[in-house]
Chains A and B, each alone.
Chain A
Amino acid sequence: MATIAYPIPGILRRPTSTAGVWGWITTVDAKRIGVLYGVTALIFLISGGAAALVMRLQLAAPDNTLVSAGTYNALFTMHGTVMVFLFIMPINAAFANFLLPLMLGARDVAFPRLNALSYWLFLGGGLLLHLSFLTGGAPDAGWFSYANLTEKPYSPGHGIDYWILSLQILGAASIMSSLNFIVTIINMRCKGMSFMRMPIFVWIVFIVSFLLIFSMPVIAIALVLLTADRFAGSHFFFASGGGDPILWQHLFWIFGHPEVYILILPPMGMVSEIIPVFSRKPLFGYRAMVLASVFIAITGFAVWSHHMFSVGLGPIANTYFATATMLVAVPTGVKIFNWIATVWGGQVSLKSPMLFALGFVGLFTIGGISGVMHSSPPSDLQQTDTYFIVAHFHYVLFGGGMFGIMGGIYYWFPKITGRMLSDGLGKLHFWLMFIGFNVTFFPMHFVGLNGMPRRIYTYTEDMNFGALNMLETVGSFIMGASFLILAYNMWKSFQGGEKAGNDPWDANTLEWSIASPPPEHNFDEIPEVRSERPLFDQKHPELAHHPPAAHAAAAHHGHRHIHLPAPSYWPVIMAAAVTIAAIGLIYKNYPVFGIALGMVIVTLYAWVKEPVFAETKE
């Protein structure tokens, strides 16, 4: 009964070719999707970085007139939105996509097509946000878009509409990919890989995925309410209509604070993979590390109002949120001490991934400490909305996030492409970025405490901010130059870099047990795991607490065809339809909106009826 083949309508047949551009567009392979995420994120990084450099140029001297106040507003809004939603989140997703199945000993993620849809939706949302530039009027209300600024009378153009709908699409993409990761981790661990034997990076992706599925809905609803305000004439956040702008702040930060941990936890995971390998020691306190991450994630939902001390929520609320915020320092401290203890007494080799990882630990600690400073409301009231805060979160998100991500790139690039990056150029990149970063952001502590506010497009000469601002601008261009070195390093590697081999770093996790780049089916034989360092066990059976299984049951050696899901074109079609629907909604072009929405529904049925495998000629 099962083998009766029913004819499948032509349109529902899956494409078979994985070659060329079309192969990339229709791919459902998590590794390829990971590469797509990574490349797209790096391109968006150029956009966000360029906005930052223009801002730094504008602020280099007092009373500068390079850009107008309005353009400056658009620049910092786009810089924040792009870096958060279009660089750090997707590049974290890139690593998660590429590494998750490999680290778990699986062939793919649980829902390959959903994974592809997440990517294409992310691309659609990112392009939609940038489209606002071309249509004259980028969003300009800051990345957290406080009400009333976002209401129709104050932002009559389409900029905010673009921002709302692209965030809505990006949020949906994030929820989908997180659900996918959660199911993959719960259900696709290879034999022997209990939760407490998962690589720490996998643990962190697991935790971050839960953060995403619980926090993204809140911003989605806030955006729905804002959309109603702008399109249907309600006034949820519109003070003069009886609305409460503070509600927007609450909803935004109930999402926004977990979001901060969504950004920083994956780089922490990468660093936790890198440091043990280059210290030749196991990760110190693996369990403590896992529990600390879980604790940080849970607390992430309980501290949002520390972004709102200046609202004046009253002493009880302020006391609670201050205390809860200080509590976050405890698990974070546990992590920092664990990293230090891992390096302590190890045979440290300062290759470029390790340099970035150590840079992460140092700079993130500075950012963490200034964070504890403004967890206290009296101190925060002095610092809020000044450059001190800008310094703080750039130490966390750039000094932490970006350094961790760069470490990840240097560490896993050989696995992804099969070729090494030059270690010399990597070190040059690190030092330039490290110096440029500190020259840019350390002085911001001082100008901030001296009273320079955030989000101003210029300042007068008698304020005495000029010298330090000039220094910051110089630093930011040193940082910018360091990324050119990365680009050159990658280009050189593609031109014929050293072949990486399976395991160039003598690492511990399963992705290094197979060829670089990995074959499409990942593992010829699904591995069996006995500890949280499975590859170490394989390489050093004499040291393992539990010697690896002798693979007696591996009867299938030799040629075996491994069925993988075939490519599909429905993810890209659906994402395109969703993006077009969003554009239709922005311009209130309801026929376009309706047709695109109809297309989404048609695609949904095609998606369901599509067979899992391509028809093979037998």
Chain B
Amino acid sequence: MAQQAAQHMDPALAEAMEHDHTSTGQPHRKVLMWAFLGSECMFFGALIGAFLVYQNSHAAGPDRHEVFSKIFLVSIMAFVLLLSSFTMVLGLAAARRGDQKMMTVWLLVTAFCGLFFIGSQGYEFYTFVNTDHMTPRTSNFAASFMILTGFHGAHVTGGIIWLVSVVLLVRLHPSQKKLPITKTMLPKFLSILSGIPQRQEGETLEPRPRHRRFTAFVRRQFQAPAPAAPVTSLSVEEYKARHLAEERILNVEIVGLYWHFVDIVWVVIFTVVYLFSAGAGK
């Protein structure tokens, strides 16, 4: 059926579509990301394996039950990182809706959660070194723990840079109107969070109650994108424009895949490294 439709298509459009055609229908970059994440599993697998081998070799240094009994901060870190997976999803949903402003907001919130995680991890390492007197030289337990969590932290850092880069590459693109976020998005976002209406010049406020504005905002975040017109009805220019837009959404989707993966790895690390140690041995 698709072939019959193809015969009635504008040949230029058919050529443009053939150029972007893939055997599976999935874009190359997405398939690449999935394969890469498969490879990443082995990186983390080897590190977690090394940790499991050495978790009890604490030599003269503190043992894991002692070190991981203070589990409060790391629980908050885990919570914030998992929360960031949620905001990442909202960012992708906004990108799919074509709502570039909310996409920017959610991606930056995601990056901020990552930043909180990294900062806390830095503080955690600082206390390990200074209070628990635990450095990579102390014991193999300490070294394998620090390399594992440090490797994960490096992934989070890379993710933050990537998220900010995706936002910047979109916002700094010459097609964008040059309006700083502080003048456009930030007041609006603050007004939504605080419930204080945002006044704009020459505009009378809607008499809608505050909670209705909030629920409308929430509902909007989960809205499905508007259904797209069938490809065959497009002109070549429209097709190319749509393809370009899809590529931009893909940028967000791919960094999202990476971010979710890093979060899932943390779930494993949190369980295997922290929870098992905090729970057992008491």
Binding site for B on A (CB under 8 A): 1-4, 6-7, 110-111, 175, 179-180, 182-183, 186-189, 193, 213-218, 220-222, 224-225, 228, 232-236, 241-244, 247, 251, 254, 526, 553, 555-556, 563, 605, 608-609
Contacts and interface: CB of A to CB of B under 8 A. Distances in A.
Contacts of B31: 110, 182-183, 186-187
A183 B32 contact: yes
Given A187-B28, A188-B23, A179 B46 contact: no
B42 A217 contact: yes
Interface stretch (B33-41, B71-79, B105-113, B274-282): B33-41
Contacts of B43: 217, 220-221
B46 to A, nearest CB: 4
Contacts of B59: 242
Interface residues of B, number: 45
Contacts of A224: 147, 151
Interface stretch (B186-194, B198-206, B237-245, B263-271): B237-245
Contacts of B18: 526
23 contacts: A1-B241, A6-B174, A110-B31, A110-B32, A179-B32, A182-B32, A183-B35, A193-B23, A213-B35, A213-B38, A213-B39, A217-B45, A220-B46, A221-B43, A228-B143, A236-B54, A241-B140, A242-B139, A243-B140, A247-B50, A251-B50, A553-B7, A555-B11
Q: Is the interface of A mostly helix, strand, loop or mixed?
A: helix
Nearest to A109: B28
B119 interface: no
Nearest to B59: A242
A234 B137 contact: yes
B169 interface: yes
Contacts of B26: 187
B137 A179 contact: no
A577 B227 CA distance: 46
B35 A179 contact: yes
Contacts of B40: 217
Query: Residue among B46, B136, B139, B147 with the most chain A CB within 10 A?
Result: B46
Given A217-B42, A553-B7, A234 B136 contact: yes
A214 B43 CA distance: 9
Contacts of A217: 39-40, 42-43, 45-46
A242 B15 CA distance: 64
Contacts of B240: 2-3
Contact of B39 (A179, A225, A608, A609): A179
B170 interface: no
Given A187-B28, A213-B39, A244-B54, 8 more contacts: A2-B237, A2-B241, A183-B35, A189-B23, A213-B38, A228-B147, A234-B140, A609-B169
B17 interface: no
Given A183-B28, A235-B140, A242-B59, A215 B42 contact: yes
